[in-house]
A and B are shown apart, each in its own frame.
Chain A
Amino acid sequence: GAGVSQTPSNKVTEKGKYVELRCDPISGHTALYWYRQSLGQGPEFLIYFQGTGAADDSGLPNDRFFAVRPEGSVSTLKIQRTERGDSAVYLCASSEYRDAGELFFGEGSRLTVL
């Protein structure tokens, strides 16, 4: 499709396990964002990529969280040693360029840590 694609849509894992969440942005969009949305809350910023580099990772909660975008397109959010508090919907968004104004969001990956 033409929109932002996120996989998996649902992931259930056990505490302590490692997970990867994938985001495929809209073709040609240079800016990519990860947000996290807990139940009943608004999305919280995690990290922003411009091209291949992380331009702003100030929202990553701790060093268990890491994200990459090696070729400037697909991005992977990696969470090590998952904790129950990591359970949330992880949203990816892209925009045509930095400061484009409109972010195009995917439907998110729902992570449940048991």
Chain B
Amino acid sequence: AQKVTQAQTEISVVEKEDVTLDCVYETRDTTYYLFWYKQPPSGELVFLIRRNSFDEQNEISGRYSWNFQKSTSSFNFTITASQVVDSAVYFCALSGATGANNLFFGTGTRLTVIP
């Protein structure tokens, strides 16, 4: 069975602070994919990253970085120097070997960045 846990329901930070969003997953698949999506107030989910289970290298994209650790089944997301525009609900998701067809989403973390 696939499961994604985002224990942080809501987080508030002051602008320019760094913030880490946690994601823990469960799967029996040896090949799987992990995702992060952003959902701003408009409701449209925006893809941020996909990582396959064989690639544990951390990734950095501008102010965003991701830390994938298979040993702890975690795929955490850090925003550096947060901005008000980062305010949104962030979802971590997991899919099996077939890729993006059937994503299992966590319950999301609502991030509020206070100016």
Contact = CB atoms under 8 A, between A and B. Distances in A.
Interface of A: 3, 31, 33, 35, 40-45, 48, 55-56, 58-59, 89, 91, 93, 95, 98-108
A45 B103 contact: yes
Given A42-B91, A43-B91, A106 B44 contact: yes
Interface stretch (B11-19, B57-65, B73-81, B94-102): B94-102
B115 interface: no
Given A42-B91, A99-B98, A102-B50, A89 B43 contact: yes
Contacts of A105: 37, 44-46
Interface in B33-50: 33, 37, 42-47, 50
A69 to B, nearest CB: 15
Using C-beta atoms within 8 Å of the partner chain, give the interface range for chain B: 20 to 34
A103 B47 contact: yes
A48 B102 contact: yes
Nearest to B108: A42
Nearest to B50: A101
